[in-house]
A and B are shown apart, each in its own frame.
Chain A
Amino acid sequence: MANSDPDKLIAKADKLTRLSLTRWSADWRNATALYEQAAIAYRLAKKYDKAKDTFEKASRGQEMLSSPWDAAKHMESAAALAKDLGNWNEVADLYKRASELYIESGRAQPASDALAKGARALEDALPDEAIRLYTDACETLEDDGKEQMAFDLYRAATNVYVKLEKYADAATFLLRWALAADKCNATHSQCKAYLSAIIVYLYAHDFQQAEKCHNDCCQVEAFLNSDQNRAATRLLSAYTDGDVEEIKRAAQSSIISNLDHVVSPIFHMNISIKKKTFDSD
């Protein structure tokens, strides 16, 4: 049976599921098994679109059999194949459906993983959709109380925002990250997130916002007494004075170099831009 043509398997499975006069209830168990075999065969034969469709059918079969976990797994496989095919809208839908099924089976971590995979696949093609998926993934984890796992997602989302040059959104997201870090008492990550937000505002040449952000962050005790606050104060005072050398020196400090790889190269670019604006002034 395993060696037979996948088309034949599918035809057989379809017959099992189609209701007619002779068949009063669909035999989902056998049908699902046939669908799975067919899908794997298609994948081996590199017929990705057919494999994707078959996986979707297999997933539906598993749903009927009340096993959302297997259904979600099949959906994920289908989504991965859709990614290979380049059907971006389908990718987003399939991954979302997969994560819903995971949540149904009570497992939040794989749900957010599915959304994250989808977002990563869509970063280049549909960045807005990717950001939406990342946000949903973060929310899923936060609902389940696992904010610690969300840090990587926050970082990836910030990366996408910065690539899209949506700096205000990036800074807001960083502040959300800081909130999540606060909930799980990760003070170091929290302070790093605050400092990154201030730097992103400065990069967007929005000095008032940066100042406001800094004032808000100083309300938080953990940030107030941290090294990051010192670096931030130094940086802001260097900006107010307009001293390019001082800004450069502040940037060389290890605190800023230790920030995420997303923010730290921004910062070095920022210095060169600032220098240009000062030279032109």
Chain B
Amino acid sequence: MSVIDILFRVDAICKKYDKYDVEKQRSLSGSSDDAFARLFASFEEQIETTLHKAEMAMTETNRATVVAMKAEVRRMKARLLDEVPKLQKLAQKKVKGLSQEELEIRNELVLALPERIQAIPDGSTSAAKQTGGWGASSSHKNINFDSGLDVISEGLDLLKNLAKDMNEELDRQVPLVDEIETKVDKSSAELRNTNVRLKTTLTKVRSSQNFCIDIILLCIILGIATYLYK
């Protein structure tokens, strides 16, 4: 048996047992009901082929072939991008038996399509386009950053001015405080001196017993005097 015979026989067997091929059935049934699903599936397929072609173009050594492949890729990308609006319209349509969430998912998928298509490398200006895309989105962020930074810098300027003014004010206070310190030291020394003298004088008088006796006697005399005069 030759190879070709084997191939034919394998084909025949596959056709016979197609009904057990789950994926194929699903896609067949899907395609019959939902126009969106059909179109989306075809889109996916085309994107896959384009990607494959782009990869081959990158690995190819023959320059002419590379150029031809890249041109092909670009043509397919353009065609796909043109058909995206059709798909979008279909995605908006409500289909029987489709939940709200699935509808939203479909919308998102459609929105993601142009980016995916653009992402296919066609080697021309992909790098520049990418960075250009990045630049556009980041300059918008930059503007926000810049205005925020401006506000912060104004605040910092104000803080700096306040801080410098405070610095100079404190410098002005330093010699005054030194003067106060010397004066207070002198006063406290004098006070301590006076206290010591007072203490010695008091102890000299107090420690003698006569002091207490003197006070008691004085009180008795005063009492007698009052009694006598009353």
Contacts and interface: CB of A to CB of B under 8 A. Distances in A.
Interface of A: 146, 148-149, 151, 184, 186, 188-189, 227, 253-255, 258
B157 A254 contact: yes
B178 interface: no
B159 to A, nearest CB: 10
A227 B157 contact: yes
A227 B158 CA distance: 12
11 contacts: A146-B175, A148-B171, A148-B172, A184-B171, A186-B168, A186-B171, A188-B168, A253-B157, A254-B158, A255-B157, A255-B161
Instruction: Across the A-B interface, give the 3 residue pairs with the lowest CB-CB distance, nearest first.
Output: A188-B164, A148-B172, A258-B161
Interface in B139-194: 154, 157-158, 160-161, 164-165, 167-168, 171-172, 175
Nearest to B154: A254
Contacts of A258: 158, 161
Contacts of A254: 154, 157-158, 161
A227 B165 CA distance: 14
A205 B161 CA distance: 28
Contacts of A189: 168
B152 to A, nearest CB: 12
Contacts of A148: 171-172, 175
A148 B175 CA distance: 10
Nearest to A151: B172
A108 B199 CA distance: 40
Contacts of A151: 172
A189 B175 CA distance: 18
A184 B174 CA distance: 13
A188 B165 contact: yes
Contacts of B164: 188
Given A188-B164, A188-B165, A149 B172 contact: yes
A227 B163 CA distance: 14
A186 B165 CA distance: 9
A186 B172 CA distance: 10
Contacts of B157: 227, 253-255
Contact of B167 (A146, A149, A188): A188
Contacts of A146: 175
A118 B160 CA distance: 36
A260 to B, nearest CB: 11
Contacts of B161: 188, 254-255, 258
Contacts of A188: 161, 164-165, 167-168
A186 B175 CA distance: 15
A254 B151 CA distance: 11
A149 B172 CA distance: 7
A116 B175 CA distance: 21
Nearest to B167: A188
Nearest to A188: B164
A194 to B, nearest CB: 15
Nearest to A252: B154
A188 B171 CA distance: 12
A188 B164 CA distance: 7
A254 B157 CA distance: 7
A189 B171 CA distance: 12
Given A186-B168, A258-B158, A258-B161, 8 more contacts: A148-B175, A186-B171, A188-B161, A189-B168, A227-B157, A254-B157, A254-B161, A255-B157
A167 B107 CA distance: 71
Interface string B42-81: 0000000000000000000000000000000000000000
A157 to B, nearest CB: 18
Nearest to A184: B171
B43 to A, nearest CB: 53
A151 B160 CA distance: 20
B129 to A, nearest CB: 38
